[in-house]
Amino acid sequence: MEKFNKNTLDKRKPQHLYVQLFNLIRDIIIRGELKDHYKLPPIRSLAGRLEVNNSTVVNAYRLLEKEGYVYKKIGSGTFVSPRLEYDNEDVILEKYPAKDDLKLMDQGQIQIRKDMISFASATPTPDLFPVEAFKVLLNEVLDRDKGEVFGYQESQGYFPLRESLTKYLKNYNIETKPENVQIISGAQQGIDVIAKALVEYNDRVIVESPTYTGAIGTFRSRGAQIISIPILEDGIDIKKLEESVRVNKPKLIYLMPNFQNPTGYSYSLEKKKKILEIAKKYNVLIVEDDYLSDLVFNKKENGTLKSLDKDGLVIYIKSFSKIFMPGLRLGFLVMPPRVYHKILRAKHTSDISTSGLNQRVFDLYLRRDIWRDHIHHMEKIYKIRFEVMCKSISKYFSESGLEYNIPNGGLNFWFKLPEGLNSDDIYDKAVKKNVLIIPGNIFFPIVNENSYFRLSIAAVYPEQIEEGIRILANIIKGYNKEHIRDSYTPLL
Amino acid sequence: MEKFNKNTLDKRKPQHLYVQLFNLIRDIIIRGELKDHYKLPPIRSLAGRLEVNNSTVVNAYRLLEKEGYVYKKIGSGTFVSPRLEYDNEDVILEKYPAKDDLKLMDQGQIQIRKDMISFASATPTPDLFPVEAFKVLLNEVLDRDKGEVFGYQESQGYFPLRESLTKYLKNYNIETKPENVQIISGAQQGIDVIAKALVEYNDRVIVESPTYTGAIGTFRSRGAQIISIPILEDGIDIKKLEESVRVNKPKLIYLMPNFQNPTGYSYSLEKKKKILEIAKKYNVLIVEDDYLSDLVFNKKENGTLKSLDKDGLVIYIKSFSKIFMPGLRLGFLVMPPRVYHKILRAKHTSDISTSGLNQRVFDLYLRRDIWRDHIHHMEKIYKIRFEVMCKSISKYFSESGLEYNIPNGGLNFWFKLPEGLNSDDIYDKAVKKNVLIIPGNIFFPIVNENSYFRLSIAAVYPEQIEEGIRILANIIKGYNKEHIRDSYTPLL
């Protein structure tokens, strides 16, 4: 708090100054930076330093007291409330993530120091979320439905929401019915519920290599054998896929046909059709994780497998995390009728139902087409980042020896290092320069593959992108030289 | 809509008349009671019948149109929007639940006709939920935290909530730390996450017999072998438990030591201590599902196993569904440090994190002690129902031949039928008289046991209770006579 000055609070923000101050001090207390019983500065002196009215500080302190963060002693001041003891060595909050936590970071689960340039997080920054619009609808829902919002919720999901999703899906050429829609608490739960419903111990599941780490975790947890098939720039290796399906008779094939995570690759229409043929021929179900097909920047090439699925072979997973609000925990499945009962039972065993409030608010979002506006808004923001990213890559990476492919949309870029370079080392060097990347090995379920890394533009601002790419290019070039010098040394 | 009249809308309600009317018509449309393109009554005629201003009907119709339930044709009126076709035979909405759906009903998942007396549902009715208080806090949270509410959420749960839960638990003599609290999306997810973390294919799990059906479903889904030990009026059969632990070396013992579901039985303090000794001796973890220990009516005998657990052997599950809001999907675990990492990973694989909004609002509930007021409020309401239930049982059941035990608290009453009577038959006869019960067999994971049934007072109003019990008593007495007459016939 010693560093507080007239620029600490932002007078142009719509948020009240006392609320801003409350948040600041609360965060400092939560982070443990103030000792128990630490005396907060006197009201006048703090108000003076911040150049605000005394009442701003008075109100902030009052709120802190109300919330239990501080206590007052009449006549002597305001003090930080003693915290509970934290002697559990198991849990350490780190300033930046340990490499083991990268999987969590990929899913937005690690909070990152604000001065870092994070190409690691695949989750949008909170400033992009449409909070005010949400608030209006939320109050409307509470006034309309009252206690019903918190009472009984159908396991399959709030019927009107399933209905409005059905309409929304028509925009993406998916014809379905509310009866075939299952509401889920985010895409990860979608994978989990499908695995519970359909994958038994020792069953085989085919995935792309590399693929989404959360899916691997879930299939592993079911005791499944995971078989991975390489993905190429136009989609999974079809020959290897068919051979593997024939030999291994998998229960499921888990795919991300558009802007695949981590590669950003999209399947060609031919491959999409061929995959459905294979699924039909061998009677195997496909799980299509459509986590981001809405974000197209270069050309309209983002048809889903589900929109081509005439035989009821595709289970379609869609969440609203990436471009809406990750904290909402909301998504849905479109199911072929033959798996309906199993999926419903699995959802029920998982968490009975998804939060009724969030479902009802999101229903209004769709019915009133606010959703469409929001997508367009996000598209604009991300298109700027995408273009800055493309320019920076071409400016700094063209002589780096990196191999890469510019995707048509989505948020991920995938790079192959020149031979001899190791993504873990690049990670270590980048962290020291305040740049976060994700080394590729976490996306390979089976082999240890150290020559790739992923950059995501979800949580970097345009002005950070060029700087970050420049730093990475220098690391790679420097490393390259160093490495080449090192390897030549014995010969001198 | 033909039946609408001046009493259809309630002018004393705080809800706007046009919103009431909108809700009414919307529900009729959702239930499918109006055909596609059905013409709604003209504005003046409907306003006249309802004895309200024309503008009320105009506004209701406008809202219906905005929401897509109806469409307008200029000059000819307002019509019901065509619905999607529902030709999927798999899904039939029933007026009352099929017996197969009783497990769902137990968890509040089946909506029941309003004129039924439902002793089946174990979930409170929506009119008991503190919606207004919730709304105030919800808006406060959104103003305070803005986008953060919907952004990154820690998998383990919102730290301030884990902190306030730690304080709250002190009231129940449970000493823990925020680091050992894991937020979950309801108790069912708690069981699921624990099973994922600790139960592998073919592992053994010990449960009480009878027990909660949702737990059986989860353990089965993990491929576990389920071993059930009878529960007696003072708790599980300790001898059989110890013998089974010794022989079977289970991974977990799943127990509800207070107001067990479905029996309502509570463990004696001696048994609680003995169970902890057994757990220590054989180094086996106990899962304590404390779904309702807060609701005590007769005497203070509701200590948890967790409060006695000195060796870190108990994983404690608590949800806020039963006495707070089932639709909120919120609960928590208290974990021994040794399972912390596994649990966190399992939670992450399940749904990444629990809704951030609900967590933040609930944190304020606890910090401001609104929670305590709400518990007291619910206690009062349920105490009345509990007492009416006890009186009705003693008035009508005393000569029925039923065996039962009046619990000290909770919401469940458990009855054993006289020999020769079958709970499925009683269920069928009761449904015909508009009374719903749950036949006991769904609570027995292994044997087919037809001589028990459960009555819950969660969703019955006091005035319904006596009537419902009277009807059941008549059915049982009549059945008894019929049955005895039948079985004597050959002798005459």
Structure tokens at A240: 């290897």
Is the minimum CB–CB distance between A419 and chain B shorter than 8 Å? no
Is the CB of A346 inside 8 Å of chain B's CB atoms? yes
A90 closest CB neighbour out of B131, B196, B337? B337
Q: Can you tell me the mean pLDDT for A347-359?
A: 92
Mutate to test the interface with A, among B139, B146, B364 (most CBs of A within 10 A): B146
Structure confidence at residue A490 (pLDDT): 42
Residue A356 pLDDT more than 70? yes
List CB contacts (< 8 A) between A357 and chain B: 327-328, 357-358
Q: Is B381 on the interface with A (CB under 8 A)?
A: no
φ, ψ of residue B78 in degrees (nearest 5): -115, 135
Residue of B nearest to A105 (CA): B152
- Helix (H/G/I), strand (E/B), else coil: A125: coil
Calculate mean pLDDT across residues A297-306.
80
Flag whether residue B258 sits within 8 Å of chain A, measured between CB atoms: no
Give contacts of A163 with chain B, Cβ < 8 Å.
84
pLDDT the model gives residue A338: 84
Q: Which residues of chain B neighbour A153 with C-beta distances below 8 Å?
A: 109, 326-327
- Contact criterion met (CB < 8 Å) for B139 and A135: yes
Buried b (16+ CB within 10 A) or exposed e, A37-65: eeebbebeebbebbebeeebbebbbbbbe
Q: Which of B200, B221, B351 sits opposite A329 (nearest CB)?
A: B351
Predicted local confidence at residue A133, as pLDDT: 86
Sheet strand arrangement including A181-184:
A181-184, A331-334, A314-319, A285-289, A252-255, A204-209, A225-232, A235-236
pLDDT band for position B17 (cuts 50, 70, 90): confident
Taking 80 as the threshold, does the pLDDT of residue B275 lie above it?
yes
**Percent of chain B topping pLDDT 70:** 88
For the segment A301-310, the average pLDDT, to the nearest whole number, is 89
Q: Does A84 touch chain B (CB under 8 A)?
A: yes
A456 touches chain B (CB under 8 A): no
pLDDT at B433: 92
Question: Closest Cα partner for A341 from A453, A464, A179?
Answer: A179
What backbone phi and psi angles, to 5 degrees, belong to A487? -75, -20
Q: Decide if A33 touches B, using CB distance below 8 A.
A: no
> Scanning every residue of chain A, which has its alpha carbon at the shortest distance from the alpha carbon of B344?
A104
CA closest to A319 among chain B residues: B351
Contact B152 A126 (CB under 8 A): yes
pLDDT in the model for residue A480? 62
A336 touches chain B (CB under 8 A): no
* A113 contact B CB<8A: no
- Tell me if A142 and B155 make a contact (CB, 8 A cut-off): no
Say whether residue A107 is in contact with chain B using an 8 A CB cutoff: yes
* A167 touching B (Cβ < 8 Å): yes
The reply to whether B379 touches chain A by the CB within 8 Å rule is no
Which residues, 6+ apart, have CB-to-CB distance to A123 below 8 Å? A107, A108, A321, A322, A326, A458, A459, B151, B152
Which of A152, A226, A345 is most worth mutating to test chain B (most B CB atoms within 10 A of its CB)? Answer: A152
Give yes or no for B15 touching A (CB within 8 A): yes
Cα→Cα distances A249→A194, A217, A240, A299, B263, Å: 17, 21, 13, 36, 45
* pLDDT at A385 (0 to 100): 94
Task: Report the gap between the CA of A350 and the closest CA in chain B (Å).
Answer: 5
Residues 198-217 of A with CB under 8 A from B: 200-202, 214, 217
DSSP string for A18-72: HHHHHHHHHHHHHTT-S-TTPBPPPHHHHHHHHTS-HHHHHHHHHHHHHTTSEEE
What mean pLDDT, rounded, does chain A reach? 85
ipTM of the complex: 0.74
B357 contact A CB<8A: yes
Q: Could you give all domains of chain A from N- to C-terminal order, each with its CATH number?
A: 17-80 (1.10.10.10), 99-123+373-491 (3.90.1150.10), 150-368 (3.40.640.10)
Is A358 an 8 Å CB contact of chain B?
A: yes
Q: Which of B88, B152, B442 to mutate to test the interface with A (most CBs of A within 10 A)?
A: B152
- Contact state of B355 with A68 under an 8 Å Cβ cutoff: no
- In this prediction, residues A133-155 reach a mean pLDDT of 89
Which pLDDT band holds residue B85 (cuts at 50, 70, 90)?
very low
Confidence check: pLDDT of B111 > 60: no
Residues with Cβ within 8 Å of A229's Cβ and at least 6 positions away in sequence, in order, are A206, A207, A208, A209, A236, A237, A240, A241, A244
Q: Is B178 on the interface with A (CB under 8 A)?
A: yes
Q: Is B32 exposed, middle or buried (0-12, 13-18, 19+ CB in 10 A)?
A: exposed
Counting one residue from A and one from B, how many pairs have CB atoms under 8 Å apart? 270
Nearest CA in chain A to B331: A351
Average pLDDT over residues A76-89: 59
* Closest chain A CA to residue B104: A348
Give the model's confidence band at A482: pLDDT under 50 very low, under 70 low, under 90 confident, else very high: low
DSSP letters for B86-154: ---TT----SS--GGGHHHHHTT-S---TTSEESS--S--GGGS-HHHHHHHHHHHHHHHGGGGGS---
Cβ contact A348–B109 (<8 Å): yes
- Do the Cβ atoms of A235 and A281 come closer than 8 Å? no
Q: Which residues lie below 8 Å from residue B77, measured CB to CB, with a gap of 6+?
A: B39, B40, B42
Asked if A325 and B155 come within 8 Å (Cβ–Cβ), the reply is: no
Q: Which of B143, B159, B177 sits opposite A88 (nearest CB)?
A: B177
Strands B314-319, B331-334: pairing is: antiparallel
- Which amino acid is present at A440? G
User: Does B398 contact chain A (CB < 8 Å)?
Assistant: no
Contact A327 B150 (CB under 8 A): yes
Q: Is the pLDDT of residue A93 over 50?
A: no
Of B134, B186, B196, the CB nearest to A352: B186
Contact B353 A329 (CB under 8 A): yes
- B471: its two tokens: 């009807």
* Low-confidence winner among A117-131, A249-263, B138-152 (lowest mean pLDDT): A117-131
The answer to whether the Cβ–Cβ distance between B150 and A177 falls below 8 Å is no
What pLDDT, on the 0 to 100 scale, is given for residue B482?
Answer: 59
Cβ–Cβ gap A88/B328 under 8 Å: no
* Contact with chain A for residue B90, Cβ under 8 A: yes
| Helix, strand, coil share of chain B (percent; to 5) | 45, 15, 40
Give ∠ CA B418-B420-B425 in degrees, rounded to 5.
95
Has residue A483 got a pLDDT over 50? yes
**pLDDT > 80? residue A235:** yes
C-beta separation of A253 from A287 below 8 A:
yes
Among B131, B144, B367, the residue with its CB nearest the CB of A142 is B131
Read off the pLDDT of each residue in B14-35 and give the average, rounded to a whole number: 79
Q: Tell whether A92 is within 8 A of chain B (Cβ).
A: no
Q: What is the largest CA-CA distance in chain A?
A: 82
pLDDT tens string B449-460: 889 999 999 989
Provide, as residue numbers in chain A, all residues whose Cβ is less than 8 Å from the Cβ of B370: none
Contact A214 B23 (CB under 8 A): no
- Please indicate if any CB of chain A lies within 8 Å of the CB of B65: no
B350 in contact with A, Cβ within 8 Å = yes
Q: Between residues B82 and A451, which one has the greater pLDDT?
A: A451
Are residues A185 and B186, on separate chains, in Cβ contact within 8 Å? no
Give me the residue label for tokens 């089974």.
B244
Mean pLDDT for the stretch of residues B431-449: 87
Q: What's the whole-number average pLDDT of chain B? A: 85
Does B146 lie at the interface with A, CB-CB under 8 angstroms?
yes
